[in-house]
Structure 1
Amino acid sequence: MAFPSVQTLRELQKTLNSTIDSYVRAVEANDIKQSIGISTRAYAAARDVTDAFCDPGMAVLGAGLEPIMNLALRIAIDLDLFILINESVSLAELVKQTKAEDTLLHRILRVLVGTGWMAEPEIKTYSLTKRGEFLKLAPWRDWIKTSFDSLAPVWLEIPEWLRKNGYRDIIDLKNNPSMSMYGVNWFDNLAKYPSREADFASSMKLKDEFPQNALPQFPYASAIENFEYELQQGGSDVFLVDVGGGRGQYLNQLLEHSDLPENARFVLQDLSTVVSSVIRSAVKFEPMSHDFFSPQPIKGAKYYHLRAILHNWPDDGCYHILSLLKDALKAGYSRLLINAYILPELQVPAIPSMIDVNMWLYCGKERTENEWHALLRRAGLKVLRIVRAEVGLHGIIEAALVDEINFGT
């Protein structure tokens, strides 16, 4: 292995320090868009430092063996290792609690130590690292289970599907790897396995586990006066419709932490199989059965909110969803809110770029700001503004009818 020269390290150090300083200045100036771009460069600079100490051959070998890490994590979750390990625990104690053979357990634990999920302060004694502690939370464990049990089988099908289909992008709802494997789309196949479907639903709660500064904070309070005036004029008393909002995670958080009008209605819409589990007396919103591929029954609400919906669909599917919502908007008043990833045009970070490729399973995609503008324009809508999270790539796109007279937000 060839170690980097002192000159190379000095240059890498200078670049990394300069990028971190720029990021701090952008955050202190509350320049969110600038800080997002700089954070991407900072991540790349830190990776360059790591790469300088990493032999390229070992990096390639590690990439090929990375599924073994996922395998070890999956087995560890089945054995409840991340729950059983609180402080330092011996191999003998873990064998006693899991009933697993000691040699098998030792080999799995070695992988988890080597990949940074656990520490080994003494021989055959284990504790959790910071990232390992996250797997004490059910949604994170269920994400590992979902990726291994339900996503990975289709990932393995994709190279062969692409070879057979001339390396076309995967956007055809009738011809895609999931249909090739199962004869139905990915979600319909998942529904055949209740335990896996439950794991997937649990893993989707990760959206609510992000720190507050990684979630866009839309200024709903600024629209209260506009809403109350509309109400006085005989308009809709619905302030927000959360379309495809699951079991109400977003609405629960919004109503708990926001100062919103007491005389306003908040409506949760999703398929009947989803909203039927919501107990009306326990929530401050109204559950309503609705398929977003059918006409929107609530007309003229102030806001229609879509969170993590459109990335599941190709552009044609999104156009259909948006067109139906467009028909419900009241010109000069109603607003559409799209709560989603907004990818940068340059140097997309690793996790968002991989999430985008994972959307092949559903024929969906993550989109850049320009792609969001184009999609909304096609549906007869225009972007008014984008409210971004302080860190990361999440944002809320506020849109309105393209031909309306803008009477304010």
Structure 2
Amino acid sequence: MSLNPSYPQAIHPLVERINRAAQRCTSAGGSLRFESDIVRRDLVAAAEQLLMAARSPEENVFAIAQQPAQNAALRCAIALGIADALPADGSPRSVDDIASSTGADRSLLSRILRACASTSLLSEPSELYYAHNAVSRTLLSPANRALLTLMFDYNGRAVVALPEFLQARKWQDPGSYTDCSFMLGCRTHLPMWEYRDRDETCRQVFDLGMQSEIVAALSTGKASGPFPFGEELADNNNYNNNNLQDDDTLTIVDLGGGRGQALQEIREEHPQLSAARFVLMDLGPVIENALAAGLPSWIEPVVGSFFEPLPVRDARVYYLRRCLHNWDDAACRTILRNVAAAMDATRSRLLVTDMVVDDTHAAREMAWEDLNMMTIGGVERTERHWHTLLAESGFRVHRIWRNSATEHATIDARLK
């Protein structure tokens, strides 16, 4: 059987597109620099599309189906501590030496490392020798390892269970927070967040994983997302000095803000807001953990739940960062209406940093992440979906700030 390209007519245009993108980068000091990250992302997208176009339909389907095995190889590498077992300078190390340091069987280890090298997760300079490369060095970060462990041990099991879960429901609904494929895949009667809070290993992995630079990269490298806080919120008459009246103080409330990392980043990157009032609101145990971890004194901790009336009213900004995608529309309407009830009708605004999936031709990463969220009863919403949900909850979308289709966006919403 001859294997024909899936999209032969697209191959030459994609090659030309890749060449154009390559011409917009320069080499200096041993590194490659693109004119902008948009150019780099376009090159990546074109290269991936070229691969799909040149492969046969059968090869494309098989490549998708192979991904669980690739994920398993990565998870094995993390569990074995391969990143720490290899010299950080990139010099090679033999399988025998790696087996000695990890305690793994040589033959078993060799098969795992071979699988990792086949996807460029490791370098294989010679037979039975392996070394770090740019990809594997990301595993030197404990936070990165924790995030990937979380994705495999918890989200991964939930995703694998998704077809069975949906089929049992006769494909009529995706389930809910209290009845979801996470519970089936992880063999628990607890929803995701209750499970995390009761399982110490899961909680530690989650907390560390949320500090991963991989998560930040989805928000243009910033925990606070793409919204220009300083330019949008600083009032030259009031907020560029320390002589503020109580009624004029700019208050930013981070709802469900964890350990306050977003507020710290906002203040650091926007010094014109240094006189503002920064409020971190979260559940009691989360606030306790934030204080124990050294929450800065200029952040005001407030215990509260966004499922209940908010204790801080009339703030200039209410900020929901990567929260709403965890919940279905009914839960989100409760959250949003509680925020609306706390807002000042003319001065307050709601900022939502979350994924905004394109209404058509959604990016692969966004579409797949929506299935991940489905496993715990959540949703990654399209732009149209966001408009509808916010309108149902008493808001209008003022503006959506975004840099690309695969990064977190920030929705600036006001009361109707």
**TM-score, normalised on structure 2?**
0.84
After TM superposition, give the deviation of residue 83 of structure 1 in Å. 2.0
Amino acid at match of 2:263: L
Distance 1:263 1:11 in 2: 53
- 1:123-174 Cα deviation digits (max 9, x unpaired): 1111123222211112221122112211222223221221121212325334
Q: Secondary structure at the match of 1:167?
A: coil
Q: Say whether residues 1:295 and 2:309 are aligned partners.
A: yes
Amino acid at match of 1:132: S
Q: How does 1:22-41 map to 2 (within 5 A)?
A: none
Distance 2:358 2:407 in 1: 8
Question: What is the root-mean-square deviation of aligned Cα atoms in Å?
Answer: 3.2
Amino acid at match of 2:249: D
Distance 1:281 1:148 in 2: 30
8 Å CA contact retained: 1:388, 1:396: yes
8 Å CA contact retained: 1:235, 1:300: no
Distance 2:300 2:369 in 1: 32
The equivalent of 2:77 in structure 1 is 76
- 1:220-268 Cα deviation digits (max 9, x unpaired): 3442328938x97753635200000011110111112212344421011
The equivalent of 1:50 in structure 2 is 51
Q: Say whether residues 1:63 and 2:58 are aligned partners.
A: no
Point out the more displaced range, 344-353 or 322-331.
344-353
Q: Say whether residues 1:92 and 2:96 are aligned partners.
A: yes
8 Å CA contact retained: 1:313, 1:365: yes
The equivalent of 1:10 in structure 2 is 12
Q: Say whether residues 1:208 and 2:216 are aligned partners.
A: yes
The equivalent of 1:310 in structure 2 is 324
Q: Secondary structure at the match of 1:130?
A: coil
Q: Say whether residues 1:338 and 2:352 are aligned partners.
A: yes
Distance 1:278 1:213 in 2: 22
154 and 8 in structure 1: CA distance in 2 versus 1, 3 angstrom threshold: closer
**TM-score, normalised on structure 1?**
0.85
8 Å CA contact retained: 2:219, 2:407: no
After TM superposition, give the deviation of residue 304 of structure 1 in Å. 0.6
8 Å CA contact retained: 2:220, 2:407: no
* Paired-residue identity, %: 28
Point out the more displaced range, 96-105 or 211-220.
211-220
Q: How does 1:253-332 map to 2 (within 5 A)?
A: 253-279=265-291, 282-332=296-346
Q: Extract unaligned runs of 5+ from structure 1.
A: 403-409
8 Å CA contact retained: 2:229, 2:266: no
211 and 379 in structure 1: CA distance in 2 versus 1, 3 angstrom threshold: closer
8 Å CA contact retained: 1:341, 1:395: yes
Distance 2:104 2:394 in 1: 60
The correspondence for 1:243, drawn from 255, 265, 276, is 255
Distance 1:90 1:380 in 2: 63
Distance 1:299 1:388 in 2: 28
- 1:84-128 Cα deviation digits (max 9, x unpaired): 222222212212211211111111000000111011111111112
Distance 2:295 2:8 in 1: 66
Distance 1:368 1:62 in 2: 27
After TM superposition, give the deviation of residue 391 of structure 1 in Å. 7.3
8 Å CA contact retained: 2:249, 2:276: yes
Q: Secondary structure at the match of 1:121?
A: strand
Point out the more displaced range, 95-104 or 169-178.
169-178
55 and 89 in structure 1: CA distance in 2 versus 1, 3 angstrom threshold: farther
Amino acid at match of 1:224: A
The correspondence for 1:371, drawn from 359, 379, 385, is 385
8 Å CA contact retained: 1:216, 1:390: no
The equivalent of 2:28 in structure 1 is none
After TM superposition, give the deviation of residue 303 of structure 1 in Å. 0.5
8 Å CA contact retained: 2:229, 2:270: no
178 and 77 in structure 1: CA distance in 2 versus 1, 3 angstrom threshold: closer
8 Å CA contact retained: 1:356, 1:365: yes
8 Å CA contact retained: 1:213, 1:390: no
Q: Secondary structure at the match of 1:298?
A: coil
After TM superposition, give the deviation of residue 72 of structure 1 in Å. 1.6
Q: Say whether residues 1:106 and 2:107 are aligned partners.
A: no
Q: Say whether residues 1:148 and 2:160 are aligned partners.
A: no
Point out the more displaced range, 321-330 or 337-346.
337-346
8 Å CA contact retained: 1:314, 1:364: yes
Q: Extract unaligned runs of 5+ from structure 2.
A: 26-33
Q: Which has the higher contact order (CA 8 A, sep 6+)?
A: 1
Distance 2:221 2:183 in 1: 38
8 Å CA contact retained: 2:150, 2:209: yes
Q: How does 1:174-253 map to 2 (within 5 A)?
A: 174-179=178-183, 181-206=187-212, 207-209=215-217, 212=220, 215-225=225-235, 228=238, 235=247, 237=249, 239-253=251-265
- 1:250-309 Cα deviation digits (max 9, x unpaired): 011111221234442101111111110223664431122111111111111110101000
Distance 2:390 2:80 in 1: 47
8 Å CA contact retained: 2:395, 2:414: yes
Amino acid at match of 2:206: F
92 and 339 in structure 1: CA distance in 2 versus 1, 3 angstrom threshold: same
Distance 2:299 2:174 in 1: 37
Q: Say whether residues 1:168 and 2:168 are aligned partners.
A: no
345 and 281 in structure 1: CA distance in 2 versus 1, 3 angstrom threshold: closer
Distance 2:167 2:191 in 1: 20
Q: Secondary structure at the match of 1:228?
A: coil
219 and 14 in structure 1: CA distance in 2 versus 1, 3 angstrom threshold: same
8 Å CA contact retained: 2:259, 2:287: yes
8 Å CA contact retained: 2:278, 2:300: yes
371 and 109 in structure 1: CA distance in 2 versus 1, 3 angstrom threshold: same
254 and 89 in structure 1: CA distance in 2 versus 1, 3 angstrom threshold: same
Distance 1:368 1:322 in 2: 17
